[in-house]
Amino acid sequence: MSKHELRGIFTPNLVPLDNRGQINEAELRRYVDWLIDRGVHGLYPNGSTGEFTRFQPEERRRIIKIVCEQVGGRVPVLAGAAEANVAETIRACEVYHEYGARAVAIVSPFYYRLSPESVYTYFHEIAQHSPIDVTLYNIPMFASPIDVPTLRRLAEHPRIVGIKDSSGDVAFMGRMINAVRPVRPDFRFLTGWEAVLVPMLIMGADGGTNATSGIVPELTRNLYELTQARRIDEAVKLQLRLIELFDTMLYSADFPEGFRAAVDLRGFDFGRGRQPLSEAQQVDRAALQRVLHCIIADFGVMDGPCEGCAVRTGNLEHDKIEQVTRAVLAEIQERGIRVN
Amino acid sequence: MSKHELRGIFTPNLVPLDNRGQINEAELRRYVDWLIDRGVHGLYPNGSTGEFTRFQPEERRRIIKIVCEQVGGRVPVLAGAAEANVAETIRACEVYHEYGARAVAIVSPFYYRLSPESVYTYFHEIAQHSPIDVTLYNIPMFASPIDVPTLRRLAEHPRIVGIKDSSGDVAFMGRMINAVRPVRPDFRFLTGWEAVLVPMLIMGADGGTNATSGIVPELTRNLYELTQARRIDEAVKLQLRLIELFDTMLYSADFPEGFRAAVDLRGFDFGRGRQPLSEAQQVDRAALQRVLHCIIADFGVMDGPCEGCAVRTGNLEHDKIEQVTRAVLAEIQERGIRVN
Amino acid sequence: MSKHELRGIFTPNLVPLDNRGQINEAELRRYVDWLIDRGVHGLYPNGSTGEFTRFQPEERRRIIKIVCEQVGGRVPVLAGAAEANVAETIRACEVYHEYGARAVAIVSPFYYRLSPESVYTYFHEIAQHSPIDVTLYNIPMFASPIDVPTLRRLAEHPRIVGIKDSSGDVAFMGRMINAVRPVRPDFRFLTGWEAVLVPMLIMGADGGTNATSGIVPELTRNLYELTQARRIDEAVKLQLRLIELFDTMLYSADFPEGFRAAVDLRGFDFGRGRQPLSEAQQVDRAALQRVLHCIIADFGVMDGPCEGCAVRTGNLEHDKIEQVTRAVLAEIQERGIRVN
Amino acid sequence: MSKHELRGIFTPNLVPLDNRGQINEAELRRYVDWLIDRGVHGLYPNGSTGEFTRFQPEERRRIIKIVCEQVGGRVPVLAGAAEANVAETIRACEVYHEYGARAVAIVSPFYYRLSPESVYTYFHEIAQHSPIDVTLYNIPMFASPIDVPTLRRLAEHPRIVGIKDSSGDVAFMGRMINAVRPVRPDFRFLTGWEAVLVPMLIMGADGGTNATSGIVPELTRNLYELTQARRIDEAVKLQLRLIELFDTMLYSADFPEGFRAAVDLRGFDFGRGRQPLSEAQQVDRAALQRVLHCIIADFGVMDGPCEGCAVRTGNLEHDKIEQVTRAVLAEIQERGIRVN
C-alpha cells in the first residue's frame, strides 16, 4: 500500500504524559516507532482517543510536529486539526500541511449541536481555504452529526477526500457509500468502530481509525488483511474476540482511560491522564489492568500475568473479582504466608 | 434446510384487509403461497410488520390459524404470541402450539419501559409454562430492551431457543453470539434489520425476519444464499442496492405503510391499513408507489411502470417529484393532449 | 366545583387484583369511595397507572363499568378508552358514554412511533365519531408525542376538549396554553407529572391526573387548593416534600409497582400485579414499603411503623438499609432476643 | 440587592465582533453599560451564549478583563472559566479572581460524556485549588450531566457556592433544592431556561442566567421582581409572552445566532458570528429579524418596524412569510410603485 493512501488501519494515538502532566516527547516517539514496526498503515494524532480537547492549541501543534517528524514519511499522518473556529482551524491546516501530514481530519462542530446546513457551511468554508486534503470526522455521540445528504454535498468539494465515521452503524456506512461512490469513486471511508471492523470493511469501507490498534496493532492489521483476502471466517473469529477487548477498554472506564490503562501493559509509561481519577477510580483502573492483561495475553502478543488468569466469563464485574483474587493469592504465596 | 429449522429468511408477513377493514383471508392465503413459492424459509405472522398491536386478541389467533393451515408444514411458522399479560401470552402459546407453529416469538414488554430484571422475569415465567419453543424479540425502538446479560440468563432456559433482534446493531449481534454460543450452541440468532443482513450473517447470525422479504422474497433469498456460499462481493453489491429499497419503504411513511404500499405492486390487494391516512398522506403514498415501482423493477423481479422511470439520485424527495412528473406526462400524452 | 368540570385532581386509579390475578371488584369499589371521601375531584380509570395495557379489552370495559357505577355521579369519570385501533376505540367511546363517563382520555398511538400527521389523523378520526368528549393523552416516554402544532389543529375539533400531558415539561405546558387558549378558552390542560404540580397550575394548567393522588389524596387536594388560593409559599413547601414521595414510588421499582406497594399501606389489598416479580424484586418491594411508610406517615395522614423511622437522607439506597435494619432490630427485640 | 450576591438575573452576554471577526471592545463596553442601566443584576461572560468554545484561551481572558473593567464593581461578574483541562481551568480561576470577578462558572466536562464519579473528581480538583468561588454549570444537552447525588457531594466543598442549571426541568430544580438546602442554606440555584423562569423562582431558585436578558433586560428584570413580590398572575402573563420570544430566538437558528440577530435590533452592531452562515441562512436570519422586531416591539421596549407588523399566529414559518411580505409591500409603496 502506498504511503500516501488513506487506506488500512490508522492509529488514533494516545499521548503519553510525564509526571508533570506535560507531553512526554521521548515516549511518544518510541510509541510511534513501535506502532509502525507492528504494521499500522498510518497515524492519526489529535483524535478523540488522543484527547485533543484536553490540550491547549500550541500543545496540539506540538503533538503533530513530533509525530510527523518521527514518522518521517514511513506511513501517512492524518492530523486532527479542529480548533475553536473556522479561522483557527484553517491556520492549523496550513501548519500541518507544512509539517508533512498527508491530510487533516476535522471533527464536526461540537458542544453546540448544529443543523445540517451549518455543518455543511462549516466544512465547506474550511475546505475552500485548506492547502491540505480534508477528511470529515463524524462522531454523533460527541459532536453534531453529519448526515448522508450533507456528506453528499460536501463530497462535491475536491479538497474533501474522505470521512471517518465513529457511529458504529454498518447500515449508515452502506448509505454513505451508496450516496458518494458513484460521484466520487476515490472518496475514502474509514470506520472508528472496531467492534464491527470486519463488517464495515466487507460493506466497502477502506479502513479504520481504531483506538484498539494503538494497543494491539498486530491484531487489527491481521484483521484487516484477513478481510481483504476474503478469509472471512477466520476474520470473523478474530473480530468476535476483539469485541471483548474493545468493550472492556471502552466501557470499564470513561473513554479513553481504559485504553490508557491498556497501553502501559505493552511496555510504555503513558503517565496519568489529564482528567483526574478519584481513589476509587484508581483502584478500578488497577483491577481493569489485570483483566486486560489476561485478555491481551490470550491473543499471544504478550505474556500473561505471573499469577495466571482466571477463566473469563464475559461478565466483567465477576471477571475482575476473580482476577484480582488470583493476584492477591499469588502475592500472598510469594511472601510465604500460609492460607488455610 | 429442514422445515423445522429456525434458520434462513422468515417473512414477518403483512396482513391484507378487505374493504370493511377485516382480515382478507383469501388474499392472505394467496400471499402465503406466493411467499413460499418464491423461497422464503419460514413465516412470521403477528410481528411488528404484521401490525399485531392493531388487531384484537381473537383476530391475532385467526391470523396464526390461517397461516398455519395454509403453510401446511411446507415451512416453519414462527408465531408472534405477545398478549396483554403473562397469563394471556401463555394461553396464546398453547393455542399456537396446537395450530402447528414451530415456535413463538414474544416481543419484550412494551409501553412501559421495564428494567432488565423485569424483562427477565417476564420471559422466564412464560418459558416455564409454554408448551412450544420460545424466541425472544428485541426491538429497542419500540419495546423494553433485552440486554446481553439478560439474554445470557434467559438462554439457560431450554424452552428459549433463539432471539430475533431488530436493533440493527452488528456489534450487538457479535456480543450476543459471544455471550450465548459457548453455552448454547443451538441457540438461534435472527436479525430484523435487512439493511445489514449480509454483515449480520457474516457475523454469525442464522438468518433474518425481514419485512423486505415480504416484498421481494426472491432477493432476500438470493442475498442469504450468496452469503452462505461466501460469494461476499456479489452479496454486498446486492445488499447495497437493497438498502435503497428498504430505506424507501421504511422512512417514506409511518411503518409499515411503506411496505403495504409496496406489496400491492407485486399483484396483491392489501386494502387500507388500520391506521387512517390523511388526504395528504394518501397522495404521498401514491407518489411513493411510483418510486418503489421503479426501484423494484430495477431488480428484474417485475416490469417497470409504462411511462418509464426517471433516473434515481437517492434523494427521495427529488426522485418522487421526477417520477410523478413522468407519470403525469405519460398520462397527458396518452390522452392526446399536446404540451408545449 | 361542578361534577362535570374537567378541573382539579383526577386519580388515575390502580386496579386491585385478587389472588387469581383477576379484578377485585369489592376492593375496587371500596377504593373508589375512599378516594372520593378524601377529596379527589375525579377518577381516571384505564390510565397508565391503571395498567390498561395489561388487561384484555373486556376487562377494560368492566373496570370502567364498576368505577362509573360506584362513583354514581359524585365526581366526573375520565375513562381511558384506547383500544387496538380506531374502530375499536370508537366502540369503547360509545360504551363508556353509556356508562356515564364524563369524557374519555385517549393515549396517542403507541408501540409504533407515528409522525405528527398520523397522530392528527388518528385523533381526528376518533373525534369525528365519538359520542363523548375526548381528551388527548400525551406521554412521550411511552407513546407517539403530540406536538404543539398538532395539538392546535386538534383543538379545532369541538369534541376534543382537553389534553392530559405527562411530559413534565412546564415550558411545554406554557407553549400549549399559548397556542390553544386564544382559540379555545374552554380547553382543559391537565398535568400527569405531580413533581411539578404547583408550577404547572401556576403556569395555567387546570388540574392534574396524578398517580400520587391515589396514595395520598388528602395531600394532592391540599396542594391544589393552596395553589388556587395563591398561598404559594405553603404550596411550594408541600410540593418539595411531595417530590420525595413521588420519586420514591416512581423510580424505586418499575412503574407502577411502587404505587401498588404504597396503596396497600393505606389499608387496601391490591394483590400481586400482572407483571411478575422475581424473588429479588419482592424483597426490594418489601424494603421499599418500609421507606414509603415512613415518608407517608411524616405527612400526618397515617401512623408510622411500630419500630419507628430512621432519619431520611434522600439517598434511597441508604435510607432503605437504615429502615430495614430498624425493622429487623424491632423484630428481634419483640422476640426477646438479646443482641450484643 | 448586594453587589456581591449571586441572585437575580445575570446576563450571559454575547460578544460583539468587528468586521475582521475580532472582539469589538468598544461595542462590548457600550453593551455592558446598556445592560447595567436596564437593570440586570449581574453579568456572565464566557457562557454558552457568549460562545466561549469559539474563542481562543487568550481571547476568553480578554473578554473577562474588558467586562470586569467596564462593570467596575457596579454588579457582580460571574466569569465562565472552563478551559481545556483542570490545570488550565485553575489558572483561569486565578486570573479572573485578580480581574475582580465575583465567582467563576465552570461547565461540566464536555465532548466526552463523563460518569458522575469523573464529574465529581473534576470539579472537586478545581475547587481545591481555586482562589475564587465556583458555581457549577449543568447543561446536559451539551455537556456531561451533573446529577443530584454528585451535586450533593460537591456542595460539601465550601468553595462551591452554587449551580447554574440549563436543563429546564423544574422538578430537577426541586430535587436539587431538596438535596442541598438542608446542608448548605447559602447555596445558590440559578436557572438558564427562561421559558420557565417564573416557575423556577417559585420553586425556590435564586435567579437566572438568561440569554433573553441580553435582549430585553427590562422584561426579565420585571419578571423577576413581579415573582419576588408574589404578583404571580402578572408574572405568569408576562412569562407566557416571553416564551414566544425565547422560542423564536432559540429554535429559528442554530444557537446563539437567533440571539445575535435580536441584539442588533436593540441598537448594537454585533457583526457576523464565528460560525459561518450560508446564503440561505443569511436570508432566513433577515426574515427572523423582522419577526423578532415585531415581537420585541409588542413588549413596548422599542418601536416596531415602519411597515407595521402582521398578526402573529405562533406558527413561525407562517408569521415570517406574512411579516416579510409586509416589509416588501412597504418597500414597494415607498418607491412609488403601484401594485394592483
Number of inter-chain CB pairs under 8 A, A vs D = 103
Burial class (CB in 10 A: 0-12, 13-18, 19+), D275: buried
Convert the pLDDT of each residue in A121-134 to its tens digit: 999 999 999 999 99
Residue of B170, B242, B248 for testing the chain A interface, max A β-carbons within 10 Å: B170
Which value, to the nearest 10 degrees, does the dihedral of the CA atoms of residues C55, C61, C67, C70 take? -130
Convert the pLDDT of each residue in A45-78 to its tens digit: 999 999 999 999 999 999 999 999 999 999 999 9
ipTM of model: 0.95
CB contact under 8 A, B199 and A199: yes
Q: Least CA distance to C172: which residue of chain D?
A: D195
CB contact under 8 A, A199 and B204: no
Residue C74: count other Cβ atoms within 10 Å of its Cβ.
Answer: 14
CA distance A235 to chain B (A): 10
* Residue among A126, A81, A77 at smallest CA distance from A106: A81
Contact C70, C30 (CB under 8 A): no
Contact list, B193 vs chain A (CB under 8 Å): 171
Low-confidence ranges of chain C (pLDDT < 70): 1-3, 337-340
Residue B320: count other Cβ atoms within 10 Å of its Cβ.
Answer: 18
Question: Could you tell me the pTM of the whole model?
Answer: 0.95
Convert the pLDDT of each residue in B121-152 to its tens digit: 999 999 999 999 999 999 999 999 999 999 99
| Cell 413596548 found at | D300
CB contact under 8 A, D204 and C149: no
* Alpha-carbon distances, residue D114 vs A262, D90, D117, D139, D249 (angstroms): 19, 19, 8, 13, 30
Percentage of chain A with pLDDT > 70? 98
Partner-chain residue, chosen from C86, C111, C115, that has the shortest CB–CB distance to B276: C86
Q: Measured between alpha carbons, how far is A103 from C288 in angstroms, rounded to an integer?
A: 59
Convert the pLDDT of each residue in D203-260 to its tens digit: 999 999 999 999 999 999 999 999 999 999 999 999 999 999 999 999 999 999 999 9
D neighbour chains, 3+ CB pairs within 8 Å: A, C
CA distance A250 to chain D (A): 12
The per-type count for chain A, helices as H runs and strands as E runs, is 12, 8
CB contact under 8 A, C243 and D202: no
CB contact under 8 A, C112 and B255: yes
Q: Measured between alpha carbons, how far is B247 from B243 in angstroms, rounded to an integer?
A: 6
CB contact under 8 A, B240 and A195: no
Q: Quick check: helix, strand or coil at residue B7?
A: coil
Q: Give the mean pLDDT of chain D.
A: 95
Q: Quick check: helix, strand or coil at residue D106?
A: strand
Q: Quick check: helix, strand or coil at residue C255?
A: coil
Q: Measured between alpha carbons, how far is D320 from C272 in angstroms, rounded to an integer?
A: 56
Contact list, A21 vs chain D (CB under 8 Å): 87
CA distance B107 to chain C (A): 11
Pairing of strands A188-191, A8-11: unpaired
Contact C167, C138 (CB under 8 A): yes
Q: What is the pLDDT of residue C339?
A: 52
Q: Least CA distance to B194: which residue of chain A?
A: A171
Contact D285, D262 (CB under 8 A): no
CB contact under 8 A, B314 and A202: no
CB contact under 8 A, A170 and B170: yes
Name the interface residues of D facing A (CB cutoff 8 Å).
Answer: 21, 48, 53-57, 84-88, 109-115, 117-118, 120-122, 125, 141-143, 254-255, 274-278, 280-281
| Cell 470539579 found at | D123
Q: Output the DSSP codes for D195-211.
A: GGHHHHHHHT--EEE-G
Asked if residue B339 has pLDDT above 70, the reply is no
Partner-chain residue, chosen from D112, D115, D255, that has the shortest CB–CB distance to A142: D112
Asked if residue B278 has pLDDT above 90, the reply is yes
Q: How far apart are the first and last CA of chain B?
A: 60
Sheet harboring B134-138: ordered strands across? B42-43, B8-11, B207-209, B188-191, B160-165, B134-138, B103-107, B78-80
Q: Please indicate whether chains D and C are in contact, defined as at least 3 beta carbon pairs under 8 Å.
A: yes
| Mean pLDDT within D192-205 | 98
Number of inter-chain CB pairs under 8 A, A vs B = 82
* Alpha-carbon distances, residue A32 vs A79, A101, A191 (angstroms): 14, 14, 21
Q: What is the pLDDT of residue C1?
A: 47
Better-scored residue on pLDDT, B188 or D335 = B188
Q: Least CA distance to D51: which residue of chain A?
A: A112
Q: Measured between alpha carbons, how far is D43 from D11 in angstroms, rounded to an integer?
A: 5
Asked if residue B76 has pLDDT above 60, the reply is yes
Contact C155, C171 (CB under 8 A): no
Q: Quick check: helix, strand or coil at residue B208?
A: strand
CA distance A150 to chain B (A): 11
Convert the pLDDT of each residue in D75-113 to its tens digit: 999 999 999 999 999 999 999 999 999 999 999 999 999
Contact list, C275 vs chain B (CB under 8 Å): 85-86, 109, 112, 114, 118, 121-122
Contact C281, B118 (CB under 8 A): yes
Residue of B167, B240, B242, B247 for testing the chain A interface, max A β-carbons within 10 Å: B240
Q: Least CA distance to A196: which residue of chain B?
A: B171
Contact list, D175 vs chain C (CB under 8 Å): 243, 247
Contact C134, C145 (CB under 8 A): no
Residue D320: count other Cβ atoms within 10 Å of its Cβ.
Answer: 18
* Alpha-carbon distances, residue D176 vs D171, D190, D212 (angstroms): 9, 11, 24
Q: Measured between alpha carbons, how far is C231 from C226 in angstroms, rounded to an integer?
A: 5
Q: Measured between alpha carbons, how far is B102 from D64 in angstroms, rounded to an integer?
A: 71
Contact list, D155 vs chain C (CB under 8 Å): none
Q: Output the DSSP codes for C91-143.
A: HHHHHHHHHT-SEEEEEPPBSS---HHHHHHHHHHHHHH-SS-EEEEE-TTTB
Residue of B156, B175, B202, B245 for testing the chain A interface, max A β-carbons within 10 Å: B202
Q: Measured between alpha carbons, how far is B306 from D225 in angstroms, rounded to an integer?
A: 71
CB contact under 8 A, B117 and C274: no
CB contact under 8 A, C202 and D199: yes
Contact list, A113 vs chain D (CB under 8 Å): 141-142
Asked if residue B214 has pLDDT above 80, the reply is yes
Orientation angle between helical segments B86-99 and B57-71, nearest 10 degrees: 20
Partner-chain residue, chosen from D88, D114, D254, that has the shortest CB–CB distance to A118: D254
Q: Measured between alpha carbons, how far is A82 from A104 in angstroms, rounded to an integer?
A: 9
Q: Which three cell numbers stand for residue C93?
A: 367511546
CB contact under 8 A, A195 and B247: no
Convert the pLDDT of each residue in D158-178 to its tens digit: 999 999 999 999 999 999 999
* Alpha-carbon distances, residue D212 vs D30, D76, D317 (angstroms): 18, 18, 21
Q: Which helix (H) or strand (E) holds A94?
A: helix A86-99
Q: Could you say which DSSP state residue A143 is in?
A: B
B143: phi then psi, degrees, rounded to nearest 5: -140, 170
Low-confidence ranges of chain A (pLDDT < 50): 1
Pairing of strands C160-165, A188-191: unpaired
Name the interface residues of C facing B (CB cutoff 8 Å).
Answer: 21, 48, 53-57, 84-88, 109-115, 117-118, 120-122, 125, 141-143, 254-255, 274-278, 280-281
Q: Please indicate whether chains A and C are in contact, defined as at least 3 beta carbon pairs under 8 Å.
A: no
Convert the pLDDT of each residue in C275-325 to its tens digit: 999 999 999 999 999 999 999 999 999 999 998 998 887 777 788 888 888
Burial class (CB in 10 A: 0-12, 13-18, 19+), B302: middle
Q: Quick check: helix, strand or coil at residue C276?
A: coil
Contact B117, C278 (CB under 8 A): yes
CB contact under 8 A, D178 and C236: no
Q: Quick check: helix, strand or coil at residue D22?
A: coil
* Residue among D236, A294, A204 at smallest CA distance from B232: A204
The sign of the dihedral angle between the CA atoms of A252, A253, A259, A264 is negative
Contact list, C109 vs chain B (CB under 8 Å): 275
Q: What is the pLDDT of residue C2?
A: 54
Contact C187, C161 (CB under 8 A): yes
* Residue among A93, A96, A82, A79 at smallest CA distance from A44: A79
Burial class (CB in 10 A: 0-12, 13-18, 19+), D339: exposed
Q: Which helix (H) or strand (E) holds A14?
A: none
Contact list, A243 vs chain B (CB under 8 Å): 171, 174-175, 178
Residue B218: count other Cβ atoms within 10 Å of its Cβ.
Answer: 16
CA distance B46 to chain C (A): 14
Name the interface residues of D facing C (CB cutoff 8 Å).
Answer: 149, 152, 168-171, 174-175, 177-179, 193, 195-196, 198-199, 202-204, 230, 232-233, 236, 239-240, 243-244, 247, 314-315
Asked if residue B309 has pLDDT above 60, the reply is yes
Q: Measured between alpha carbons, how far is D200 from D194 in angstroms, rounded to an integer?
A: 9
